[in-house]
Structure 1
Amino acid sequence: MGKGLPKRSEDYSLWYNELVKRADLAENSDVRGCMVIKPYGFAIWEKMQQTLDQMFKDTGHVNAYFPIFIPKSYLSKEADHVEGFAKECAVVTHYRLKNDPDGNGVVVDPDAKLEEELIVRPTSETIIWNSYKNWIQSYRDLPILCNQWANVVRWEMRTRLFLRTAEFLWQEGHTAHATKQEAIDESVQMMNVYADFAEKYLGVPVLKGTKTESERFAGAEETYCIEALMQDGKALQAGTSHFLGQNFAKAFDVKFATKEGGMDLVWGTSWGVSTRLMGALIMAHSDDFGLVLPPKLAPFQVVIVPIFKGDEQLAQISEVAEKIMADLRAKGITVKFDNRTTHKPGWKFAEYELKGTPVRIAIGPKDLENGTVEVARRDLLEKNSMTLGDGFAQQIVDLLDNIQNTIFQKALQYRADNSHTVDTYEEFKKIISSEEGGFVYAHWDGTSETEEKIKEETKATIRCIPIDQKEENGVCIYSRNPSKGRVVFAKAY
């Protein structure tokens, strides 16, 4: 189980890869750059999906689905967009196979060449705005607030489970509005939805901000983002929301009749999070013993492990366990009773520690006599004896709430301890090159040239221009030219 798991302090990358595999979250596929998400990993992703889906619906959005294949000509219509994704596209050129005449399996039928190549969706702006052209004629048709849950393909050369794979799962919202301000408000709203999800469910504190021009989404006028800090001092972009302006409306000629009787181009947004959130969840909280899952996203919040000899003891413990499960489920808690006879209690304890189950309840013969159980919390690796009775279920509810908050506060403290303010390039380089890393707040002159030079020399990028950036006259750490505020730098995934 968790025994022999590499230590984070010795090889963080190896620790992460081994934990993903040993905790049964995912594994590499024989298809280059792709992954298999295993049932336990998918159960966590499903909880993320369900929670986010409800948050989207609560803000007025509806789900739809659009084709995975995009005609090549669609991508050509928005210049910045195609340039941003051209190197990552997988292309379908033929529509049929045939048996090899030489008997070597199947080959592509050269007579089945497509008239126009199809791109396997790297993102869906083009195919969706082509549909919106047919959906929108008047201001009465606006706004359109669509989301889709889908897979996308971006031909990554260097892959890592959950963090960067050639195919990954995500959601992508695509909205259309009558005014510029409506579209900006939508973009900001969805950044805030993502931030709320990250902090209240993932237990991961995030910085909210905008991207620099060079880091913006291809085809966007503004990109809003949330940035999280992992335990190795590197940043992880956890979600983005893009104000598209009228760029895609122009590309696909999406116009509407205004209230005043004129014609205008539609204003757009797009926003998304992906299975990369699984990576954030793992790297923000887990330890050298395995996963540490926030209770709100754990497949099972509580597991009950019986300690017994023989069928009679198991039957007695099972009766108590059934009562506990009924009480906990009545409180909305997900609980599992692991009464397998094929594994010993110690093995089960190690398994649930590795898999990050927030609360483990152990019941043995002495517990039956005393009317108590042993309750272990995964985040602090602490265990205590608790008395069974009418208030027991509520105590577990309170414990889970405490675990959720403790996990968040620990991550928040880590970020505070690893956030630095510097005024010179020497200070900057010293922190960025240290093992601890972290967020570095520094003045920047606002030019892409300076941003690129710093990236070349240190591998640090501007993660965001903080939404709450204070106007503060200063000088850029690199060029020493005037600056009006600090931005956030870090090395990143």
Structure 2
Amino acid sequence: MAKGVTARSENYSQWYVDIVKKAGLAEHSAVRGCMVIKPYGFGIWERMKEELDRMFKETGHVNAYFPLFIPKSFFSKEADHVDGFAKECAVVTHYRLKNDENGRGIIVDPEARLEEELIVRPTSETIIWNTYRDWIKSYRDLPLLINQWANVVRWEMRTRLFLRTAEFLWQEGHTAHATEAEALNEAKRMQKIYAKFAEEYMAMPVIQGTKTESEKFAGALETFTIEGLMQDGKALQAGTSHFLGQNFAKAFDVKYLNENNEEELVWATSWGVSTRLVGGLIMTHSDDDGLVIPPKLAPVKVVIVPIPRPSEALNKAVENIRNTLLKGGISVEYDDDDKKRPGFKFAEHELRGIPIRIGIGPRDLEKNQVEVARRDTKEKTYVPIDNLHEFIPQLLEDIQANLLAKAKAFQAENTRYADTFEEFKNILKTKGGFVYAHWDGTPETEEEIKKRTKATIRCIPLDNPLEEGKCIFSGKPSTQRVVFAKAY
């Protein structure tokens, strides 16, 4: 166990906080409920952003940016949407400060009240669809495939770094289509892109499914989700994609002339993932020695440590190794701090989750070799320096594959089936994980199960087979199992 990192078995919640802080990812800010993302943590988010942005653009999406402030009246145009976000909104009421005449410092100028309050963006459907009214006139303007990278404010009272904060970073896609089928296919396509990113880059297996009526996005007709399983047996909603139907087109009067010169309402989607993915990455792979980062998302893939300390000969050899790896697109860090012992550095870089550590000393130079240690399994091996250009890329692929295989095995081991409510409660109490169980399809039963167990329906899996059964709670007929879990 790394110094200062609580064991997962002792206190999982504190273990998570220790990893985030001691690995230098983020810290609490002076603003209650908000966080400061430190350079190393932001580096992971940047890698996520780069890959997702590439995937979006490969499917025809382009980036734009819309205002942070949204007029309050926009929210009242879509009733379900405002109901879903009303309790989380931060509201701007004034536009000026002034010095207090009684010497009590800066105060809000009471004469500077806005004619209409502004909502700090909790999500952008309303401001974007108000804009789309001017952009969309004809079928030739469709489909409109827009994404934006932005910050969002949802006023959370109980926060946790990366997983739930009052302000967070995310991307939100907003697309407009001529037909229902096109919009529905877009929502499903983005769910698949999120699932592909989670598995291929985060090495995090997910279940793809749809949300129940009570769990879907406010204002959506259908919400598609990807759900990951964390090491404590809780689920994490890692990304959602929403089929919005024509709700926002109706609210903001967004119409187009079809090929027959007839006016029709536009069909819509929205979809997003956030910095919560960083939290998901931490909880999927990390251990009691610190952070573990899949190589494809690691800001630094290789760290080189001189043993016992830097020297002119070592520095020259390291420079050659570094240049060789950089040419192959592999990010490298050289820890030449001569004030720290090698053992301290090893523990530090293990805590930071750098996928590969290379150790090199005078004796290694004589043998033209280095010691290579992988973070995921802690295995070490000696590799000829001349072979590093082939060995390191392959080892990075092996680490990536091993992390995914390990996470898949964990998910499989912690996916269970329950046929009675007693069995269901016992699984949640003693084991956790994903629980497949029959549900009668009513929100009343869904809510009662949540009240009694704190477990929610994470999704109705897309690959769900039809299976006759009885609801675990009500005993009423059911045609398929849904996925329950306690969740973040």
TM-score when normalising by structure 1: 0.98
Q: Distance in 2 between matches of 1:108 and 1:2?
A: 48
The equivalent of 2:10 in structure 1 is 10
Q: Find the partner of 1:462 among 437, 453, 457.
A: 457
Q: Secondary structure at the match of 2:483?
A: strand
Contact 1:375–1:385 (Cα < 8 Å) also in 2: yes
Q: Distance in 1 between matches of 2:36 and 2:460?
A: 36
Deviation per residue, 1:373-405 (Å, 9 max, x gap)? 11000001121111221x321111110000000
The equivalent of 1:444 in structure 2 is 439
- Compute the displacement of 1:235 (Å): 0.1
Amino acid at match of 1:338: D
The equivalent of 2:145 in structure 1 is 145
The equivalent of 2:416 in structure 1 is 420
- Compute the displacement of 1:321 (Å): 1.0
Q: Distance in 2 between matches of 1:319 and 1:3?
A: 33
What runs of 5+ residues in structure 1 fail to find an aligned partner?
Answer: none
Amino acid at match of 1:191: Q
Amino acid at match of 2:412: A
Q: Distance in 1 between matches of 2:338 and 2:299?
A: 22
Q: Secondary structure at the match of 2:441?
A: coil
Q: Distance in 2 between matches of 1:213 and 1:308?
A: 61
Q: Distance in 2 between matches of 1:89 and 1:336?
A: 42
The equivalent of 2:224 in structure 1 is 224
Q: Distance in 1 between matches of 2:162 and 2:353?
A: 18
Q: Superposed, which structure 2 residues align to 1:339-358 within 5 Å?
A: 339-358=336-355
The equivalent of 1:33 in structure 2 is 33
Contact 1:231–1:284 (Cα < 8 Å) also in 2: yes
Q: Find the partner of 1:475 among 445, 460, 470.
A: 470
Deviation per residue, 1:346-388 (Å, 9 max, x gap)? 2211110000000000000110111111100000112111122
Q: Distance in 1 between matches of 2:128 and 2:348?
A: 44
Q: Superposed, which structure 2 residues align to 1:474-493 within 5 Å?
A: 474-493=469-488
Q: Distance in 2 between matches of 1:332 and 1:153?
A: 36
Q: Secondary structure at the match of 1:36?
A: strand
The equivalent of 2:406 in structure 1 is 410
The equivalent of 2:68 in structure 1 is 68
Contact 1:91–1:120 (Cα < 8 Å) also in 2: yes
Q: Find the partner of 1:394 among 386, 390, 397.
A: 390
Q: Distance in 1 between matches of 2:274 and 2:83?
A: 22
The share of aligned pairs that are identical, in percent, is 66
Q: Secondary structure at the match of 2:134?
A: helix
| Count of aligned residue pairs for this structure pair | 488
Q: Distance in 2 between matches of 1:155 and 1:244?
A: 24
Q: Distance in 2 between matches of 1:301 and 1:144?
A: 38
Q: Secondary structure at the match of 1:49?
A: helix
- Compute the displacement of 1:320 (Å): 1.3
Deviation per residue, 1:258-292 (Å, 9 max, x gap)? 11221110000000000000100000000000000
What runs of 5+ residues in structure 2 fail to find an aligned partner?
Answer: none
- Compute the displacement of 1:58 (Å): 0.5
Contact 2:325–2:389 (Cα < 8 Å) also in 1: yes
Deviation per residue, 1:150-192 (Å, 9 max, x gap)? 0000000100000000000000000000000000010000000
Q: Secondary structure at the match of 1:223?
A: strand
- Compute the displacement of 1:30 (Å): 1.1
Q: Distance in 2 between matches of 1:245 and 1:9?
A: 46
Amino acid at match of 2:19: L
Q: Distance in 2 between matches of 1:14 and 1:377?
A: 26
The equivalent of 1:431 in structure 2 is 427
Measured on the aligned residues, the alpha-carbon RMSD in Å equals: 0.9
Q: Distance in 2 between matches of 1:385 and 1:314?
A: 21
- Compute the displacement of 1:308 (Å): 3.8
Contact 1:303–1:335 (Cα < 8 Å) also in 2: yes
Amino acid at match of 2:404: F
Amino acid at match of 1:303: V
Q: Distance in 2 between matches of 1:470 and 1:64?
A: 40
The equivalent of 1:372 in structure 2 is 369
Contact 2:308–2:341 (Cα < 8 Å) also in 1: no
The equivalent of 1:318 in structure 2 is 315
Q: Secondary structure at the match of 1:400?
A: helix
Q: Distance in 2 between matches of 1:277 and 1:211?
A: 19
- Compute the displacement of 1:148 (Å): 0.3
The equivalent of 1:113 in structure 2 is 113
- Compute the displacement of 1:5 (Å): 1.0
Q: Secondary structure at the match of 2:424?
A: helix
Q: Distance in 2 between matches of 1:449 and 1:260?
A: 46
Q: Distance in 2 between matches of 1:330 and 1:98?
A: 56
- Compute the displacement of 1:342 (Å): 2.6
Q: Distance in 1 between matches of 2:96 and 2:453?
A: 48
TM-score when normalising by structure 2: 0.99
- Compute the displacement of 1:315 (Å): 1.0
Contact 2:4–2:18 (Cα < 8 Å) also in 1: no
Q: Distance in 1 between matches of 2:314 and 2:106?
A: 59
